[in-house]
Structure 1
Amino acid sequence: MSRNFDAADIVDVIFDEYSSAILTATSAEPVAVTNIVEAVGMSPATAYRRIDQLIDHELLAERTWFDEAGNQIHMYESQFESVKIEIINGIAYLHIVGDDAHELTRLWEFQ
C-alpha cells in the first residue's frame, strides 16, 4: 500500500459483508464482476460500489483483458495475501501482508 489510510477506515472496508466477500472471491485468481455478483449474491451496482471502494484503498486491482473477439473483460484481483488484527498490551495493530511489502498500521490504543 503506497498511500496512507486511516486504519479504522480500512478495517471498515475490509470487514464490510460485501467487500469481504469480494476480497475472498478474488483472492485466488482474477475474477470478472459477473462472477462476483453470482457467487456473492449482490446486485451489480452494489458490486461496483464496493469494487471502487476496494480499489481506492488499494486492496483490489482491476485488470483489463481482451477476449478472442476483441471485447474488453475487466477482471479484479486482491492485492494482498493476508490481513491480521493483533492486540498486544492494549494496542491493536492491523497487518496487511502483500506480495512486495508488509504493512503494519497501529489501529488504536486502550489506556
Structure 2
Amino acid sequence: MDEDEDTVLAVLDDEYARAILAHLTLEPMSVDELCTACEMSDATAYRRLNRLQDADLVTEHQELDPDGHHYKRYAATVETVTVTFADGGYEVAVTRSTTDPADRFTDLFEGLS
C-alpha cells in the first residue's frame, strides 16, 4: 500500500467528502451549489474539497460570472475506486474519468450559451 492509496481511503472515509464526490459526478459545481446540495457549511465544503484535490479525486477551474466576478467550479476526476483484498494485503485502484474535466467545463459553459 502506498501513500496515494492511503490518502484515497482516508478521504473516502468521510461522509461529506463522499457526498461532494457523488454530486460532482453529475456536473461541475461551485462551493455554494455543493453546500446546498450536500447540506454543509462553506468551511466544511472547502476542507473536504482540499482533501479531495490532494487525493487527485477532484479538480477546480476558474469561471467568470456575467457580472465579471471569478469563482471556482469543481469536477470529479474519478469514476470508480476499488479495494481488493488478497494474499494478506489489499490494493486500491482508482479509475479516472474518461472525459477530461476541462471538456466537461467547456460542455457546461456551451450549454449555458
Higher strand share: 1
- Report the TM-score, using the length of structure 2 for normalisation: 0.76
Q: CA deviation at 1:65?
A: 0.9
TM-fit CA distance, 1:96: 0.3
- Aligned-partner SS, 1:74: strand
Local SS of the residue matching 1:95: strand
Corresponding residue number in structure 2 for 1:22: 20
Q: State the identity as a percent.
A: 31
Out of 58, 66, 69, the residue aligned to residue 56 of structure 2 is: 58
**Structure 2 runs not aligned, ≥5 long:** 99-113
- Structure with the largest fraction of helix: 2
Taking only aligned residues, the RMSD between alpha carbons, in angstroms, comes to: 1.7
Report how many aligned residue pairs link the two structures. 97
1:1-25 CA distance string (max 9 Å, x none): xxx7342232010221111111111
Show the counterpart of 2:89: 91
Distance 2:34 2:66 in 1: 22
